Homo-oligomer: A and B are copies of this chain.
């Protein structure tokens, strides 16, 4: 499945935002620059301004890293179970394990408030390219360019926030070719209404993940509140009576997280030979660690589960990406296209200077290769909190425009919501993660490295983790607030061992951050040139690489061929029961009791999951799928394994997005969960 992106972005450390050029149903299009001509030519459909605005405003982004939509005037929000699972997990206890048994609120006062969810509804887009670009001049060093751009963005975001009260974020598009100011209405009182059991939401488990055919009810429903009452929502999606038919074009509106389709061959080779293998090594280590912790007991298994899902999912997604890049044919095509483009550029005296951008990427890539594994990544929630407290105190010494972006005034509210979250942190799990992070640092930097020695402080990694946690108060939200209130003095004088560890590691984190910021800036300038060259040579309309902002994708509902077999576009509810039978009681293939009890009452022919050619990627999870009439017909939850190389290269031969069918959701709500109240609200 496409998991929330937060950890994905953190893991890679690189967020590229670059452009590409569309073919077939390729494209993650900007809402303020939709491919209307293309849609009309290919599908005889011309989206009106109202159609687009209504769809845009019916969508919400889950800031943990997913997409969603309003599905009633009464504030109901539909997303994937696996997007909601971070919250389902935080709301669970050993006694009320929502992940296992699901949840249904029978009335508003039974709805469970999420501890730290933030939902963003995009309400306005403004092109601010000229203003941003003018802040950076040719005579600036890379360091000055980073600072200048950071300053104007912080200023602009703060001004927009002050003026409108809306969360305002400048997004870099086409790798620096365009800058748009996105403005969001924020919802922070979000309550759980319904979630099915993981057994059906993630039926087939890790084995079926990224595979198709599938049989997953990967859905859950929240409700947004304002002033302690269900919010009144103007823009929401109607619920389709029937869902789509085969070959119907459908539209996906959501927030694809990141693609890298404009990458040069040098950048792709770095991904293939170094970056992806390195990330996968870390993911496998994390997976084994969490498994081992989970073996300690059933409660530990429960505590580890959310992280485990995330890690396994990332590992499988990366494996698919890497397999795509290890396909000689795919690479040969990409190399040939790059060669042709460069030939055209070099043949044109006006374009020729742009070819230098490839050299820049080659150089920044070599520097990134040197950095791989050189930082200090401490994967502990408590350490993360301590480091954030230390950096916040330091950054707050500076004006907003000079701070690291996450500490700017405009972002403060979202920052503190996370920092002061009351969601449980499990000390035993955090101890395991902390001890392993220390051990890993020793391995990566060498045991005798001075920073390694300072981190270790003469103890074994596990003993040091015990000591750090024993003499730290950051587990308590009240203590965090107290430390934050004390500002830089509180940090300087702190005797809290976790804060002290954060102070030990912080300079190295900042050093690496400064280097990568500069590499990102150089890439930004280079990819802007590459985009310019492609515009000039290929002359087609285009869309920017994904940036975890709202995009429109589209394509017909359509099966595909695999290993000589025709894979149908649909599965149905009856198929889920057959799938269970075929797997003879294997773990992850057992339907929940709630389904078995009502098997006879279920309409087996109800479509369950379906595929389309719409161009999506991680971050699109929870995206509504709508028809020409703008009615909800499905809910994106995955891409098949062939779609994963779409991070670098789109092809619609076998690549498919996978959705839950709207009729399956309604049938399950009615027949399995007896959620008649919700069904009455759908689309009303």
Please name the residue on chain B nearest to A205 by beta carbon: B295
Residues of chain B with a CB closer than 8 A to A461's CB: 323, 326
A328→B459 CA distance, assembly (Å)? 6
B205 and A447 within 8 A (CB): no
A329→B461 CA distance, assembly (Å)? 12
Q: Residue A447 contacts which of B272, B287, B439, B584 (CB distance < 8 angstroms)?
A: B272
Please name the residue on chain B nearest to A278 by beta carbon: B443
A297 and B443 within 8 A (CB): no
A296→B456 CA distance, assembly (Å)? 42
Q: Residue A288 contacts which of B287, B329, B439, B456 (CB distance < 8 angstroms)?
A: B287
Q: Residue A583 contacts which of B269, B272, B297 (CB distance < 8 angstroms)?
A: B297
A281 at the interface (CB under 8 A from B): yes
A315 and B295 within 8 A (CB): no
Residues of chain B with a CB closer than 8 A to A566's CB: none
Residues of chain B with a CB closer than 8 A to A281's CB: 281, 284-285
Residues of chain B with a CB closer than 8 A to A586's CB: 295, 297-298, 301
A481 at the interface (CB under 8 A from B): no
Say whether, besides A298-B586, A315-B288, A328-B456, A446 and B273 are in contact (CB < 8 Å). Answer: yes
- Contacts of A438-462 to chain B: CB distance below 8 A: 439, 442-443, 446-448, 456, 458-462
A277 at the interface (CB under 8 A from B): yes
B323 and A458 within 8 A (CB): no
A410 at the interface (CB under 8 A from B): no
Residues of chain B with a CB closer than 8 A to A205's CB: 295
- Contacts of A145-175 to chain B: CB distance below 8 A: none
Residues of chain B with a CB closer than 8 A to A447's CB: 269, 272-273, 325-326, 331
A206 at the interface (CB under 8 A from B): yes
Residues of chain B with a CB closer than 8 A to A331's CB: 447
A530 at the interface (CB under 8 A from B): no
A207 and B460 within 8 A (CB): no
Residues of chain B with a CB closer than 8 A to A315's CB: 288
A459→B327 CA distance, assembly (Å)? 7
Please name the residue on chain B nearest to A445 by beta carbon: B273
A509→B328 CA distance, assembly (Å)? 25
* Shortest distance from the beta carbon of A435 to any chain B beta carbon, whole Å: 9
B443 and A584 within 8 A (CB): no
B288 and A460 within 8 A (CB): no
Q: Residue A322 contacts which of B272, B284, B439, B446 (CB distance < 8 angstroms)?
A: B439
B284 and A288 within 8 A (CB): yes
* Shortest distance from the beta carbon of A179 to any chain B beta carbon, whole Å: 36
A93 at the interface (CB under 8 A from B): no
Please name the residue on chain B nearest to A456 by beta carbon: B328
Residues of chain B with a CB closer than 8 A to A459's CB: 328
A584→B300 CA distance, assembly (Å)? 13
- Contacts of A385-420 to chain B: CB distance below 8 A: none
Residues of chain B with a CB closer than 8 A to A277's CB: 443
Please name the residue on chain B nearest to A281 by beta carbon: B281
Please name the residue on chain B nearest to A324 by beta carbon: B460
* Shortest distance from the beta carbon of A366 to any chain B beta carbon, whole Å: 14
A421 at the interface (CB under 8 A from B): no
Residues of chain B with a CB closer than 8 A to A448's CB: 269, 273
A462 and B296 within 8 A (CB): no
A32 at the interface (CB under 8 A from B): no
A292 at the interface (CB under 8 A from B): yes
* Shortest distance from the beta carbon of A211 to any chain B beta carbon, whole Å: 11
Please name the residue on chain B nearest to A331 by beta carbon: B447
* Shortest distance from the beta carbon of A291 to any chain B beta carbon, whole Å: 8
Residues of chain B with a CB closer than 8 A to A446's CB: 273
Residues of chain B with a CB closer than 8 A to A584's CB: 297-298
Residues of chain B with a CB closer than 8 A to A298's CB: 584, 586
Residues of chain B with a CB closer than 8 A to A328's CB: 456, 458-460
Q: Residue A462 contacts which of B295, B301, B323 (CB distance < 8 angstroms)?
A: B323
Q: Residue A327 contacts which of B273, B284, B326, B460 (CB distance < 8 angstroms)?
A: B460
* Shortest distance from the beta carbon of A460 to any chain B beta carbon, whole Å: 5
A323→B586 CA distance, assembly (Å)? 35
Please name the residue on chain B nearest to A273 by beta carbon: B446
A292→B273 CA distance, assembly (Å)? 23
Say whether, besides A281-B281, A448-B269, A460-B327, A207 and B287 are in contact (CB < 8 Å). Answer: no
Q: List 17 A-B contacts (CB under 8 A).
A: A207-B296, A269-B448, A272-B447, A273-B446, A281-B281, A281-B284, A295-B586, A297-B584, A298-B584, A298-B586, A301-B586, A323-B461, A323-B462, A326-B461, A327-B460, A328-B456, A328-B460
- Give 7 closest A-B pairs by Cβ, nearest first: A207-B295, A277-B443, A284-B284, A327-B460, A273-B446, A284-B288, A328-B458
A205-B295, A272-B447, A273-B446 known; 11 new pairs, CB 8 Å cut-off, are A207-B292, A273-B443, A281-B281, A281-B285, A284-B285, A298-B586, A325-B447, A326-B442, A326-B447, A326-B461, A329-B458
